[in-house]
Structure 1
Amino acid sequence: MAFFLSHSMLLLATSILPLTNALPAPVPAILAGGPAIVPIPSNCTVTNLAPTTGQMRNESYIPTPDATNEILYSAYYPSPTTNATQMSLQCLQQCHGYGDGSQCKTAFWAEKMPVPKGYYGSPGGQLENACLFFARTLTDEDFTAAPEGQASNAFAWGLEC
């Protein structure tokens, strides 16, 4: 009888065990989102990369199409605050929090940026805040004047750690 009972238990266990893999996994406490906001350590150098070319000094600017082909990460969202400087700093700190902290070399943040078509299933074109990360330090040649009414309060920061 003991052999039959343990054999039955083994049979029951082997028939139920595969079902546990089919059950939904518990939702993790931390859900997916943007990179962590990590303060910039003192051994890192932050450079203001705002274009210095004469024709763009008093205009809004955006990364060129060639530069946007090199985006590591992008986030488009409605503004939770009117403090553009605070939001650009948060974007820079997220740039530092991307990966191991050494991959992101430039953070670009601006209000009224057109959302790309297909971004999280959107039709694209709506204007929202944007935080963009690049794997290299952008230069003046990587920026162009923004279309009228776009990219207000733009910030471009270089990060070297």
Structure 2
Amino acid sequence: MLFSTIFTAIALPLLAAASPIELQRRAGGPAIVPLAANCTLINPLPHASLHPGNATISGYLPSSNFSSSYHLYSWYIPQPDFESQNARWSNCIQQCNGFPGCVSAFMAYSAPLPKGWLGLAGGELEVGCFMYNQTLTPLDFVVAEKGQYVNATAGNIYCPRATPATANTSVKSTASKKTPVKVVA
């Protein structure tokens, strides 16, 4: 009895100690990768230029032709969602940025869950994030059914490629540096 008590008193702290075991990559969504400082996010939603400062437009979704041709990945979250729309959109676009080949994303509230999604019946209205390997244009959107795809946000990620090194790279540039614009409506 005394031996088991002493053994337990010694063994438990040793078992609870932190282990230097490296974590393996696990299945799940794309990695969240923040946009680089030189990247621009362009809003392709129809009429976005008519609503300066308002990045959301209700009642549009990418056409089924566009989605079937360029869809890479999507996720859904049940409503009500307790994250702010900006935080949720940031997650969506940064996951697109972390997914190889993804160049545009679309997120909307009240997006119908597809039939068979994770074995569910489908049809429930949820928050949806959709990622594509083709840039979206205003012509790629169609009008959604009333009450669906509301508070939608979309973005095309544009990151200029680094200029190749030349023989004159050791010469200091006198050009002024400009702060990049993050979001263009």
TM-score past 0.5 threshold: yes
Deviation per CA, 1:33-68, whole angstroms, max 9, x where unpaired? 1111111001222101121289xx964211111111
Contact 1:59-1:145 at 8 Å conserved across structures: no
Partner of 2:91: 90
Q: Percent identity?
A: 40
Counterpart of 1:42 (choices 30, 37, 45) is 37
Query: Taking structure 2 as the reference length, what is the TM-score of the superposition?
Result: 0.63
Contact 1:112-1:151 at 8 Å conserved across structures: yes
Aligned AA for 1:98?
F
Higher helix share: 1
Structure 2 CA distance for aligned equivalents of residues 110 and 160 of structure 1:
21
Structure 2 CA distance for aligned equivalents of residues 152 and 82 of structure 1:
16
Name the count of aligned residue pairs: 129
Structure 1 CA distance for aligned equivalents of residues 91 and 134 of structure 2:
19
Answering whether residue 103 of structure 2 is matched by residue 108 of structure 1, we say: no
Contact 1:63-1:144 at 8 Å conserved across structures: yes
Partner of 1:15: none
Partner of 1:145: 143
Aligned AA for 1:48?
N
Answering whether residue 82 of structure 2 is matched by residue 81 of structure 1, we say: yes
Contact 1:88-1:110 at 8 Å conserved across structures: no
Secondary structure (helix, strand or coil) at the match of 1:92 reads helix
Counterpart of 1:157 (choices 132, 155, 164) is 155
Once the two structures are superposed, the pairs formed by residues 120-135 of structure 1 within 5 Å of their partners are: 120-135=118-133
Query: Taking structure 1 as the reference length, what is the TM-score of the superposition?
Result: 0.72
Contact 1:105-1:134 at 8 Å conserved across structures: yes
Give, in angstroms, the shift of residue 31 of structure 1.
Answer: 3.0
Give, in angstroms, the shift of residue 157 of structure 1.
Answer: 0.4
Aligned-pair RMSD on alpha carbons? 2.2
Partner of 1:66: 65
Structure 1 CA distance for aligned equivalents of residues 25 and 123 of structure 2:
31
Q: What are the ranges of 5 or more consecutive residues in structure 1 without an aligned counterpart?
A: 1-27
Structure 2 CA distance for aligned equivalents of residues 41 and 159 of structure 1:
10
Relative to structure 1, is the Cα distance of residues 129 and 59 closer, same or farther in structure 2, using a 3 angstrom cutoff? closer
